[in-house]
């Protein structure tokens, strides 16, 4: 007799303001949403046609080129964090099946996160991680500001970007999912961190 297929619960985020969800498993819908998001962000002026096309291509590649092993489930793009306040922020959810703690660890969130923290320390990657509470579990967070030089001769004016990673527990299991929050608004990291913490803390799992 064949056992029933296990369907993992889906992480539900409470996002303030207006956001657009991109789902790699639904390419046609994602393409429509990308087009709608670009129109919403840049308008319909003829002189911006090339810029809109470039933005659509960049957002499409963001989804298409995601590493299959990382198991990108969704990316959420912020249009306005509150009415009249645009904010270039992206939140992505990854559900890699390979990331689960040792069978000797129980399924209590604190035990799963403690196992993750110990594993990071064991491989020499334990710096900067901080345990954070969630509505129905726990998470481990690490954030940083990255600087990228986009062209030779522009070393003095690198592009700065904020990034925060949250490895979050899945209720009743040893699995972890990854939530990443990124933004070019690197000059206000504490504001972004406060928002990212609130998004992850308020997230919950629901049946898929």
What's the gap between Cα 75 and its chain centre?
6
Q: What is the pLDDT of residue 1?
A: 37
Q: How many helices (H) and strands (E) in the chain?
A: 4, 10
Q: What is the pLDDT of residue 4?
A: 43
Tracing tokens 């129905």 back to the chain, one arrives at 136
Give the span between the Cα atoms of 134 and 200, in whole angstroms. 7
Which residue, among 149, 179, 205, has the nearest Cα to 7 in the 3D structure? Answer: 205
User: Of 146-150, 151-155, 193-197, which gets the smallest average pLDDT?
Assistant: 151-155
- The pLDDT-based confidence of 103 (bands split at 50, 70, 90) is low
Tell me phi and psi for residue 91, to 5 degrees.
-120, 125
Q: What is the pTM of this model?
A: 0.83
Alpha-carbon distance values, 77 to 86, 95, 126, 129, 165 (Å): 11, 18, 30, 25, 16
Q: Quick one: fold of 10-24+66-206? A: Jelly Rolls (2.60.120)
User: Angle 6-9-12 (CA atoms, 0-180°, nearest 5)?
Assistant: 165
β-strand partners of 12: 204
């Amino acid at each position: 007799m064949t056992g029933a297929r296990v369907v993992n619960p889906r992480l539900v985020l409470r996002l303030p303001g207006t956001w657009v969800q991109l789902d790699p498993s639904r390419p046609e819908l994602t393409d429509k949403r990308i087009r709608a998001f670009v129109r919403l962000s840049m308008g319909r002026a003829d002189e911006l046609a090339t810029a809109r096309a470039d933005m659509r291509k960049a957002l499409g590649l963001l989804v298409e080129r995601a590493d299959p092993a990382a198991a990108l489930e969704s990316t959420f793009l912020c249009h306005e964090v509150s009415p009249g306040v645009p904010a270039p922020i992206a939140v992505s959810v990854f559900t890699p099946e390979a990331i689960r703690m040792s069978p000797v660890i129980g399924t209590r969130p604190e035990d799963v996160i403690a196992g993750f923290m110990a594993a990071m320390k064991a491989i020499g990657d334990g710096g900067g991680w901080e345990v954070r509470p969630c509505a129905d579990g726990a998470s481990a967070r690490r954030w940083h500001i990255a600087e990228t030089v986009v062209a030779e001769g522009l070393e003095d004016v690198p592009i700065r970007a904020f990034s925060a990673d949250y490895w979050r527990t899945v209720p009743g299991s040893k699995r972890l999912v990854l939530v990443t929050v990124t933004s070019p608004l690197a000059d206000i990291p504490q504001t972004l961190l406060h928002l990212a913490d609130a998004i992850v803390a308020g997230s919950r799992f629901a049946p898929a």
